[in-house]
Chains A and B, each alone.
Chain A
Amino acid sequence: MTYVLTGDDKAISGFGGFRSAITSLDPRMRVVVTVLYAITVVGLSDLRVLSGAMVLSMWLLAISGLPFQKTLKRMAMMDTFIIFMLVLLPFTMPGTPIFTVWGVSASWEGLWRAVEIGLTANAVILAVMTMVGSMEPVTMGHALFALKTPERLVHLMMFTIRYIDVLREEYQRLRTSMKLRAFRPGTNWHTYRSYGYLVGMMLVRAIERSERILAAMKCRGFSGRIVLLDEFRLTRTDLAFAAALCLAMAALVWAEVVYAAA
């Protein structure tokens, strides 16, 4: 689904998808382990231990079969969002000064806190993208349903996943027709009104489309039940993988406790 953002070809996960060490594992297990991993990493605070978590996430990326550079680039995109907050931290947190700019001093404590947040955020999001993001979106929906997520929420998610693509193409058609009429965006009332109309038109078309969808679904006897196409099976490989990751998490927690005591 990432091509929605990057405009690449639909390569990463088409129907049927690709197979690698991670994609052949049970999706339910991947979701559960990822959540556990995220909670564990957020609980860590020692920089050495967090670096260990980062290495673990990188290893997950290596065996996930996702394109290495592209995924790291996407992770770096998130960093550009938080960079301001992280850069401010050394200046706003009191502590031992490192240097002073215009009478404001940066503290070591703030710097370490910024590094800590950066490492945590990246380690978690990398694991999420590699363990869950490498799934076919529909498979993720089915896995969440198998994990007792409310049926309606899963339906809502599946519809969203299904129609993001369709509506993005519709958006691009509308943009093309705007371009044909010599629309060039700028900072002015005309631009904002045109974009507003564009969004409004998308909503109107979305509603009309949803009416046709509902009619088509009723015609086929839709009752609100989710029919699972594949049955998930927890194999010995899944258990071994989950056990290995849990062991790694236990090691991280142990290291954290030891370093905290030292």
Chain B
Amino acid sequence: MHIVDGALSNPVVIGGAVVAVGGIAMGLKHLPLERIPAAGVLSASFFVASLIHVPIGPSSVHLILNGLAGLVLGWAAFPALFVGLLLQAVFFGFGGLTVLGVNAVNIALPAVLAGLLFRPMVSRGSPLHGAIWGGIGGGVAIAVTTLAVAFSLMLSGDEFAAAAKLVFVAHIPVMAVEALLTGAAIYLARRVKPELFLDAKGGWA
């Protein structure tokens, strides 16, 4: 899902950076000091979760779980996922430096959207009800991320159109897996620690 340096055109890179700065500022605004430890530890757990490889048929995919991050963190998911991407680029060599903004927007904006749209449904009703909406949120977030990646590639040049389509088709199974996993994770969290999603006011969102 990472785009690398040198592939995108300058307007796309600059636009991505500008939107990312806005998103981070917005996220930090929703992050009071009291919440920083929780956001930091959750950010770290999403980082670790993204290293999990899940089998699909003969192959395996690694998780992104940006939808789950958005559902749990709300706006704070933006800076949290940005930090994850920054650390991945600097210490693992995944992605790039100038494209950090574009990558952050592609991954974190769908997360925030999924959080804003589906969080009310996830926190209401029975755990199963929450899990189903959580699964939908997780799947939608990855779908939007994939579309955003394809879109940033296509904006940069027609020669990427084929690659962009391939990215989308290749990620359809990933969307299904992420939806299932997010749903299951929400189901467990709702049963074990219901207050994780409770504080709608003055909480994360």
- Measured CB to CB, the residues of A under 8 A from B are 1-2, 4-5, 34-35, 38-39, 41-42, 71, 74-75, 77-78, 81-82, 84-85, 88-89, 91-93, 110, 113, 116-117, 119-121, 124-126, 128-129, 132-133, 137, 140, 150, 152-153, 155-164, 166-168, 171, 185-187, 189, 191-204, 206-211, 213-214, 217, 224
Contacts and interface: CB of A to CB of B under 8 A. Distances in A.
Given A159-B36, A206-B38, 8 more contacts: A35-B97, A77-B93, A92-B158, A124-B6, A128-B97, A137-B87, A187-B57, A196-B182
B83 A156 contact: yes
Interface residues of B, number: 73
A201 B193 CA distance: 10
A2 B34 contact: no
24 contacts: A4-B48, A4-B51, A34-B97, A38-B5, A81-B94, A84-B163, A85-B153, A117-B6, A121-B6, A124-B96, A125-B89, A128-B89, A133-B90, A133-B91, A137-B87, A159-B43, A164-B47, A167-B48, A191-B54, A192-B180, A195-B181, A200-B188, A201-B192, A207-B42
Interface string B80-115: 100110110111111111100000000000000000
Interface in B171-191: 177, 180-189
B42 A210 contact: yes
Given A150-B28, A200-B192, A5 B51 contact: yes
B200 to A, nearest CB: 16
What does DSSP make chain B's interface, helix, strand, loop or mixed?
helix
B205 to A, nearest CB: 15
A242 to B, nearest CB: 17
B4 interface: yes
| Leading 6 A-B pairs by shortest Cβ distance | A159-B40, A196-B184, A120-B6, A200-B188, A200-B185, A121-B4
Given A38-B97, A128-B93, A186 B5 contact: no
Interface of B: 2, 4-7, 13, 24-25, 28, 31, 33-34, 36-45, 47-49, 51-52, 54-57, 63, 65, 68, 72, 79-80, 83-84, 86-87, 89-98, 153, 158-163, 166, 177, 180-189, 192-193, 196
Contact of B86 (A126, A157, A171, A194): A157
A153 B78 CA distance: 11
Nearest to B28: A152
Nearest to A76: B93
